[in-house]
Amino acid sequence: MIDITTNYAGLALRNPIVVGSSGLTSAPEKIKEYEKVGAGAVVLKSLFEEQIEMQSASLLKESDFPEATDYIYEYLKSNQVNQYLELIKKAKAICTIPVIASVNCYRVDAWIDFAHQIELAGADAIELNVYYMDTGLTPGDETDHKVYVNIIRKVKETVSIPVIMKIGKSINNIPALVYLLKTNGADGVVLFNRLYQPDINIHTMQIVSGNVFSSHSDLSDTLRWTAIVSGKIPDIGIASSTGVHDWEDVVKCLLAGASAVQMVSAIYTHGPEIISQILVCMEEWMNQTKYYSLSQFQGALNYAHIKSPNMYERAQFMKYFSSRD
């Protein structure tokens, strides 16, 4: 009997496949469907503070009463937050797999407020979708790390469910940030969020959206940082995310040290059934390689467990090209 259970950030999952935050997880019936095809957990679409702000700004433009600003903002906020809390409650009522809520805020008090309500609504954990891009001209300071640490600290003071931080890969010194997050209470990290990809239309001379979905080639960075972070900080739950498209990708992430993987683009492209197909293939591979539980191979090829950990470092890239004609 093969055991594919895993512990991710304090959550007991029946298997490591998590449906990532997106429109895929915006309705309770869809979430139930993922449970049926075998998902280990789901992350709900994010509750965006910015979206509430934008909607209230557009309503205000149409309003003849500028004094209604606070009223409109508060009304919209409570309406959207209530809808989100309802989604958590309904998903929890019909599913047995863990339901992880997700928020994206920019004011610290909003993170605290939303996190508190999300815990009360019954979410099993909270994923903080933090997006902070420092484009200032002062090099090398750790300002961005402080922003992340401040948020995790405040949210951990507020809730007792596991708190997971989802970060983008453009951040400076990823292991140092994860270590800081861990020492300030983070139960897990998602490596990585895939941010909006800007592109330029040279005919209309406009900035447009690039590929919304990831591709296989995006997995390389995910593997590299999963392996380095899990090798250096073994006691934090890591969900590898971005570029996980098939069963081999899942096995690779586990070998690199992930506790779980998150999938979005592949499910949009192939439908929910890809989850059950991946589970069958992964178990077949485990059978053939005589692994009877995930723990037998999780992290076996991470930074701490391979003879040449620099294989995961950038210098290797240069060596590769310099050895080619």
Ligand X SMILES: Cc1cc2nc3c(=O)[nH]c(=O)nc-3n(C[C@H](O)[C@H](O)[C@H](O)COP(=O)(O)O)c2cc1C
Residues in contact with ligand X by the rule CB under 6 A: 20-23, 45-46, 102, 129, 166, 193-194, 212-214, 218, 241-244, 263-266
To ligand X, the closest distance from the beta carbon of 8 in angstroms equals 15
- Closest contact distance (angstroms) between CB of 142 and ligand X is 23
Token representation of residue 103: 């928020």
CA 216 from chain centre, in angstroms, equals 17
- Cβ closest to ligand X, residue 72 vs residue 124: 124
Rounded to 5 degrees, φ, ψ at 324 are -100, 145
Q: Any idea of the CA torsion for 169, 191, 247, 40, to the nearest 10 degrees?
A: -150
Do the Cβ atoms of 35 and 319 come closer than 8 Å?
no
Q: Using alpha carbons only, how large is the chain's radius of gyration in Å?
A: 21
The DSSP result for 170-220, as a single string, is TSS-HHHHHHHHHHTT--EEEEEE----EEEETTTTEEEE--SS--GGGHH
Helix (H, G, I), strand (E, B) or coil at 169: coil
Residue 45 Cβ vs ligand X, minimum distance, rounded to whole Å: 4
Which residue matches tokens 């998150």? 262
Q: State the nearest-atom distance from the C-beta of 10 to ligand X, in Å.
A: 20
Q: Measured from the CB of residue 134, what is the shortest distance to ligand X in angstroms?
A: 19
Residue 72 or 97: the one with the smaller Cβ distance to ligand X is: 97
- Which CB sits closer to ligand X, 22 or 56? 22
CB nearer ligand X, residue 72 or residue 266: 266
Please say which residue, 22 or 230, places its beta carbon nearer to ligand X.
Answer: 22
Nearer to ligand X, 17 or 72 (CB): 17
What type of residue is 65?
Answer: F
Smallest separation (angstroms) from ligand X to the CB of 243: 5
